[in-house]
Amino acid sequence: DVYAPLLKGSAKDYSYEEAKEMVLEAVKPLGTEYTDVVKAGLENRWVDVYPNKGKRGGAYSSGTYTSNPYILCNYTGTLDSVSTLAHEMGHSMHSYRTNHAQPVHYANYTMFVAEVASTVNENLLIEQLLQKETDPAQRMALLNQYMEGFKGTIYRQTMFAEFEKEAHAASERGESLTPEFLNQLYLNLVKKYFGEDLVIDDEVQYEWARIPHFYRPFYVYVYATGYSTAVALSEGILHGGQDRVRKYLEFLSMGSSAYPIDELKHAGVDLTTPEPIDIALEKFAKILDDAEETFAKLQQK
How high is the pLDDT of residue 298?
87
Beta-carbon contacts of 105 under 8 Å, excluding residues fewer than 6 positions away, are none
pLDDT of 176-190, one tens digit each? 999 999 999 999 999
Tell me the per-residue pLDDT of 56-80, one tens digit each, with 9 for 90 and over.
Answer: 999 999 999 999 999 999 999 999 9
Active site residue 88: yes
3-state secondary structure of 269: coil
pLDDT of residue 5: 75
Q: pTM for this one?
A: 0.92
Looking at residue 290, its pLDDT comes to 96
Look at residue 24 in the predicted model and tell me its pLDDT.
98
Write out the H or E segment, with its range, that includes residue 116.
Answer: helix 111-132
Work out the angle at residue 155's Cα, subtended by the Cα atoms of residues 128 and 85, and round it to the nearest 5 degrees. Answer: 35
**Cβ pair 16, 75 in contact under 8 A:** yes
- Domains of the chain, with CATH numbers? 16-147+221-300 (1.10.1370.20)
Q: Given this model, what pLDDT does residue 235 score?
A: 96
Under a CB-based contact definition with an 8 Å cutoff, are residues 72 and 56 in contact?
Answer: yes
Q: Catalytic: which of 17, 21, 25, 88?
A: 88
pLDDT at 268: 96
Which residues of the chain carry a pLDDT beneath 50? none
**Count of C-beta atoms within a 10 Å radius of residue 285:** 11
CA angle, 45 then 83 then 226, to 5°: 105
